[in-house]
Amino acid sequence: MDKKWLPLTVTLGVAGVAVVTAGVWPDKVEKPPLPQSLCHGALSRATAELIEDGQGGGEVSAGAWESKDRTHEHAVLKACHVLRAGRDGAERRGVYKLVVEDTRTAPGTRKDSVPLGSGFTGWALPDRAEVTLPTGCAVRMGSAAPHITASLDVPSQDEERLYRRGEKPPVDLDTALPNNATVMREAATRLAERYDCADTG
């Protein structure tokens, strides 16, 4: 894992329960009581824990960062890696990534994807998903671009990688698709509320 993620990791307990022992919490990591949300406030802990990689394990944590450089290609760029501890609570592995950024491209769809449901512009696949935040969020978030999107990347469900390795998806389609869609819907809803740009019409 890239070292730049380590200082920003916030450790979260599974299902609201954390087992804390001496030496578990480094000085720079937030101590209990644990936060109820992560990924810049886009996800509740319960929703963040929905996406799995089939390996099980312990507590969920997140390493988040954002771009402060307005000369960067993206005026809005917030990223978050969600990790899960191994069964022994020691080794952490990346499960998925959530990225929120501005774009000048109109929202589209992906082949074989499913829609997110009424009131949301976006789509979901087993390994990827995307949602476009309501009109007005770009301005509220400091961007001159017309759109803000939140995108999801779940490497363990990547169809091409699984095919090359001769492996089956670790999570079945009937579970992966609704879980990815739920994460996208919550991210759009919570970010729109946070930046006061929810559609009111």
pLDDT at 7: 35
Give the residue carrying structure tokens 């082949």: 111
pLDDT at 99: 95
Which of the residues in the chain have pLDDT under 70? 1-35, 68-73, 88-90, 200-201
pLDDT at 28: 46
pLDDT at 177: 95
Strand 128-132 versus strand 147-153 pairing type: antiparallel
User: Rounded to an integer, what distance in angstroms lies between the CA atom of residue 176 and that of residue 92?
Assistant: 21
Which of 106, 89, 95 lies closest to 38 in space, CA to CA?
95
pLDDT at 133: 95
Assess contact for 45 and 60: CB atoms under 8 A. Answer: yes
Q: What is the pLDDT of residues 36-46, one digit of tens each?
A: 788 999 999 89
pTM score of the predicted model? 0.79
